[in-house]
Amino acid sequence: MSLSNNTEITQAATIAALTSEIIIHPMDTVITRMQSPFYKTIYKHGNGTLSRTIFHGLYQGFGPTLLAGTLSSAAFFTTYEASKKTFENAQSAGYMLGVPRSIFHVASSALAELIACAILNPAEVLKQNAQVIQRPPSPPVSGTGVRGLPTSPTVEILKQFQKQPSKLWTGYTALVASQLPSICLTFCLYEMIKETLLERWKLKKEKNDITQQLQATILSAGIAGGCASWFFVPIDVVKTRMRLAVGNHAQTGVPRLGLDGAKVNLQPRAGAFAVAGDVIDLTTPQGFNFSTIHKMTEGTHSLPDGLELYTKTWETSGSPHAILAFIHGFSDHCNAYYDMFPNLAEAGIEVRSFDQRGWGREVKKASDKGNTGPTHKVLSDMHSFLLSLPSESTTPIFLMGHSMGGGQTLNYILHPESPYNKDSNRPKLTGVMLYSPLIAIDPSSRPSKFTVAAGRLVAKVFPHKQRYSPLDPKLLTRVESVVEDIIADQLCHDTGTFEGLAGMLDRGLWLEAMFETEASSGKWVESSLPFWFGHGNEDRVTSYPASKAFAEEMKKRGKDVTFVTYDGAYHRLHSELPETTTKFVADVRDWILAKADSVSAQGEGSGVQSEDAVEVDKAKL
């Protein structure tokens, strides 16, 4: 789940706390009275039946609990989301990839609960003492014979703590001891049961999506809360009696902390808290907690030369509508794309990507950094990975490249020496997407001609010699927190070999020369595949004008081309300002699904671009 700001968390937490407290408070009052040491003497008749007194004033102590409940809920979810996001960012950067996401949820909820309990405990002490207080009738007003209005139970109890306010935190240790294991167990069971139910219903197609979400949430929360309470209610009883012992109504000292009736409390808040979490999920811009809907699978892909590439797949909850193969950019890796891939997976688009040779988790030693090899090896690595996709499936396959990966993708599809155009066994693609592609470097970031010439000379003599070529992170995005993430990401090493850097520049120069003049020496392959371009017009890394001009030239030649401009956006559209990123991901999603549906409607199976539909342009452009 990704929230744009803490205000949304606070608003959602307030709604969740208010709704759950109104429903739960009467039941909690009865439970507190049954757990109190006065249960047998005040709330139960000698014959074993319950006294009506147990049902009087069911909303006693509601005021402070509502206030503290709202504050503690806001504190819990704010802390939980911030902590979880920290873990997710670390995992996206390539750290702790072997750690299950459930561990992140447990750690985040534990930290959040420690803070929430410190806020909630005073209100709970006031509430539980107010719930069991037995007030004598109010004395008559002097000279009237009429009894005055009764004092609020909460006000009466609050007066008792004026001299010793620290007593309001009595039972905090017991509260933490009971809540931490209970919350952790509840959330683990809740997520597991809900995922199982949704998967089962999806397979059997018994219910629509909204019904599935609602029923699975309620059922999972009830089962998880009930199971957790069976183990942890005894501690809750001790905690309650410790609180009741500090009130003035317990005149005989601390009562015996027995465990009679310990299994009475089913802790309704445990289940309600899980439901409250879904309230927050459903009020976010994305609408759902993607971690419960899609799953990620890590693996490896073996290249012909024996190197194993790190791969990752963002799977959909059911059969995918389409598959997107994604090629990352310079000094980047496939785990650095934040919520883009989970969002696409939620929409039914399975995303498959890998860390390219010389980047990300493929760097095992210092000499591996940026050691991509020449262009033919770069394109060969792409080709090998794409051939590993399910070619016999009728699911449409799309290819997308970002930045350097975008330049590679265009070369892979259009260059006559590419393995895509030379190998009879080639991947079956339905469309091509270019995201801030490296067709040309923006003039403000472009190296001088002397630097390029010197680099080419060094590349011929010492191809594997490395050069530190940092990208200014402030040119990548307008979001300061993302800039800090990029700086802290150890997998973004900004180092290339002279051979690799020369190849990257050459691929861009070839693309720039494709449409320059009719006498151009570049030959390119005609393709009838549809193309989508997305670029921010304030990108100072790769050239926005070059991308737009390239797309317009393709349109002039009758190609199916879509070009989208993102006003004011920098280079990394997937981690830009919320309004930009939201539109970008939606545009990618909608274009893929529209093309996939078009293929299905035409009955063309996987939408494969046939060999007959591709021609090599023999003329010099």
Confidence of residue 65 (pLDDT cuts 50, 70, 90): low
Does 295-613 match 6-135+151-282 at the fold level? no
Q: At what angle do helices 268-282 and 62-92 cross, to 10 degrees?
A: 60
Q: Which residue has the tokens 């046939």?
A: 610
* Beta partners for residue 525, in sequence order: 616
Confidence of residue 160 (pLDDT cuts 50, 70, 90): low
Mean pLDDT of all residues in 318-340: 95
Per-residue pLDDT tens for 140-157? 555 545 444 455 655 666
Confidence of residue 102 (pLDDT cuts 50, 70, 90): confident
Which tokens hold the place of 450? 């002397």
- What count of other Cβ atoms lies within 10 Å of the Cβ of residue 193? 19
User: Of 531, 560, 565, which Cα lies nearest the Cα of 545?
Assistant: 565
pTM (global) more than 0.75: no
Lowest mean pLDDT among 224-233, 385-394, 397-406: 224-233
* Amino acid (one-letter) located at 615: E
User: Of 398, 431, 423, which Cα lies nearest the Cα of 527?
Assistant: 431
- What count of other Cβ atoms lies within 10 Å of the Cβ of residue 52? 9
17 phi and psi angles, rounded to 5 deg: -65, -45
Confidence of residue 397 (pLDDT cuts 50, 70, 90): very high
Residue 470 has pLDDT above 50, yes or no: yes
- What count of other Cβ atoms lies within 10 Å of the Cβ of residue 306? 6
- Three-state secondary structure call for residue 180: helix
- Three-state secondary structure call for residue 286: coil
The CATH number of domain 6-135+151-282 is 1.50.40.10: yes
Residue 15 burial (C-beta neighbours within 10 Å; 0-12, 13-18, 19+): middle
Mean pLDDT of all residues in 153-171: 68
User: Of 552, 528, 553, 541, which Cα lies nearest the Cα of 610?
Assistant: 528
* Backbone φ/ψ region at 302: left (φ over 0), alpha (ψ -120 to 50), beta: beta
Share of the chain above pLDDT 90, in %: 41
Residue with the bigger pLDDT between 400 and 41: it is 400
Residue 2 has pLDDT above 70, yes or no: no
Share of the chain above pLDDT 70, in %: 63
Fold of the domain spanning 295-613? Rossmann fold (3.40.50)
Q: Are strands 561-566 and 495-497 parallel, antiparallel or unpaired?
A: unpaired
Residue with the bigger pLDDT between 202 and 107: it is 107
* Amino acid (one-letter) located at 434: L
Angle at 47 between CA 46 and CA 48, to 5 degrees: 90
Mean pLDDT of all residues in 294-323: 93
User: Of 548, 574, 573, 572, which Cα lies nearest the Cα of 562?
Assistant: 548
* Domain boundaries along the sequence of the chain: 6-135+151-282, 295-613
Confidence of residue 209 (pLDDT cuts 50, 70, 90): low
d(CA 293, CA 279): 16
Mean pLDDT of all residues in 516-534: 79
609 phi and psi angles, rounded to 5 deg: -80, 110
Per-residue pLDDT tens for 235-276? 666 655 555 555 544 334 333 333 333 333 334 444 444 444
What is the rounded (10 degree) CA torsion for 50, 52, 53, 58?
A: 100
Q: Give Dmax (Cα) for the chain.
A: 114
Lowest mean pLDDT among 132-136, 157-161, 196-200, 305-309: 132-136
